[in-house]
Structure 1
């Protein structure tokens, strides 16, 4: 995909997320990998009203090339690109249910999104909960690097989800699936939902990784 097309896709999908309530105000950020670097939404920008020309471009070493200043959470994006080969895009949202889930005290930090549906397994996979650090703290990137590329999605405690994908559409769909699963977890919180078994999860990986 050309840089021009990538800029247009960021604007289109970011607006879609904003208009459907996956982020509010200037919350959330999106990045897309290019052959010579990557694009990332500017700091303090609203995903519903992005300007293609002002989207920040960084080179492969993270140096600012053009556009407005990058999101202050650029560290977490760069960490995913560096540790997960094949990552083409990263989406960080403050979506309501996933963020609410990140505030609960009783989550399993190694697997904080239960395997309720085949789609969360296929599109998101295992989600790690990372400890709270302030937004923009470079330690955020260090925590993601420490995972060694094991997870395509993480939940930042008291903050929200971060999802990587091979391209922007895939990352957006996975972020939406994570949010929907978090909503289901709240709806089922007072019951004992039937989860997919280890065998069913293994089958999904075997069939859909082809």
Structure 2
């Protein structure tokens, strides 16, 4: 068993421990060269076996292990979009899933720049139109987006987040949930978002994509 396999299992357990992957929902992957380690279909993220992960290539061919999560096309889309991507996290976390049932804030970001940390760790997060879970057409839509993003909100479903490491992807997925929870907590109250200049300055400093258009 490799260090990456153990790291993936630890990241999954951490997210499950935070209550962000109820039941057997959610899936995580990590890229190892031209191979992708993916959590198997129907598994509890709190109880993964490092030796029991699914292994795919970047074209989605199943190389080893059990059958992968049906959401694996979304993971591969992120790996193909940006070579620096090393991990992808998809959750059904409660607050982010709730926000995915609302209208997006803008064309390029379902969530506004509500906190500095959301911009610093995630950046813009477009809403992808509803599709049945595992639909490869939705993954194709993600891969073909014409603007940069390292996360997307799947309409009526939940978030999928990429990162340059398992830690970065995990922290970004947690940040999406926290920003979503804040939005729901504030409800219909008037809210101050970061100004365009404030959000842009943070994105430039921390290397995250932020150029949402209303």
C-alpha separation in 2, matches of 1:127 and 1:195: 15
Q: Which sections of structure 2, spanning at least 5 residues, go unmatched?
A: 209-214
C-alpha separation in 1, matches of 2:146 and 2:79: 11
1:61-210 counterparts in 2 under 5 A?
Answer: 61-105=59-103, 107-148=105-146, 150-209=148-207
Given the superposition, is the C-alpha separation of residues 18 and 191 from structure 1 closer, same or farther in structure 2, using an over 3 Å criterion?
Answer: same
C-alpha separation in 1, matches of 2:32 and 2:9: 16
C-alpha separation in 1, matches of 2:128 and 2:176: 16
C-alpha separation in 1, matches of 2:207 and 2:101: 32
RMSD: 1.6
Given the superposition, is the C-alpha separation of residues 125 and 106 from structure 1 closer, same or farther in structure 2, using an over 3 Å criterion?
Answer: closer
Q: Tell whether the 8 Å contact from 1:83 to 1:148 is kept in structure 2 after alignment.
A: no
Residue of structure 2 in register with 1:5 after alignment? 3
Q: Which sections of structure 1, spanning at least 5 residues, go unmatched?
A: none
Q: Tell whether the 8 Å contact from 1:58 to 1:65 is kept in structure 2 after alignment.
A: yes
C-alpha separation in 1, matches of 2:70 and 2:206: 36
Given the superposition, is the C-alpha separation of residues 64 and 179 from structure 1 closer, same or farther in structure 2, using an over 3 Å criterion?
Answer: same
C-alpha separation in 1, matches of 2:68 and 2:36: 11
* TM-score of the two chains, using structure 2 as the length reference: 0.92
* TM-score of the two chains, using structure 1 as the length reference: 0.94
4+ residue runs over 6 A deviation: none
Aligned-partner SS, 1:132: coil
Aligned-partner SS, 2:14: helix
